[in-house]
Chains A and B, each alone.
Chain A
Amino acid sequence: KQEVTQIPAALSVPEGENLVLNCSFTDSAIYNLQWFRQDPGKGLTSLLLIQSSQREQTSGRLNASLDKSSGRSTLYIAASQPGDSATYLCAVNGDYKLSFGAGTTVTVRA
């Protein structure tokens, strides 16, 4: 069974600082990996999708890396803003269903 761990569980930074969110998974036989954002009381917004053959994916201030052999992915958010405050979830797709980490709750202080 795929186990997904996200560290840290919570993070508080001043505005402008770069964010580094970590995700690790136990089974490297994955199809792809998605990073999501979830605001309180809302659904999941897909941020980035990395295919198993890719090493990284970028969208604006967001960059995600994938090291499949070591079972790790990292989400980098550059120049954080208060609007980046949310919970970030990592999800691993081993066949078609997603296995989720518990999330990292980010607070960006103005």
Chain B
Amino acid sequence: GAGVSQSPSNKVTEKGKDVELRCDPISGHTALYWYRQSLGQGLEFLIYFQGNSAPDKSGLPSDRFSAERTGGSVSTLTIQRTQQEDSAVYLCASSSPLASGEQYFGPGTRLTVT
């Protein structure tokens, strides 16, 4: 079946602009995660959604970052007033409690802030 998809695959934006990154999880997966992979920080957790519960936003680096998940499926990560340090690959993953919590990752969105 279809895996996790993300769009766009690449995004170049000017400093100060807002960007939206999209994630479409595997159908039926109730949990959705966002991670960020950057040269200096490695792979780090950003935010977690589980069903209709309040999301765990503990990994978001600043209040410029926000995310929502509509209808328990597609998620959008929004970065406002982008800074050069936001340049990274943003990875989305999903999982199902029926699959022992194994997380499946999308191909990522490479964000470059100029």
Contact = CB atoms under 8 A, between A and B. Distances in A.
Instruction: Tell whether A and B belong to one assembly.
Output: yes
Interface string B73-109: 0000000000000000001010000001111111110
Interface stretch (A10-18, A76-84, A91-99): A91-99
Contacts of A100: 42-44
How big is the B interface, by class? 20 to 34
A28 interface: no
Interface of chain B: mostly helix, strand, loop or mixed: strand
Contact of A44 (B44, B45, B91): B91
A44 B105 contact: yes
A12 B80 CA distance: 42
A99 to B, nearest CB: 7
A46 interface: yes
Contacts of A31: 101
Interface of A: 31-32, 34, 36, 42-46, 49, 51, 89, 91, 93, 96-103
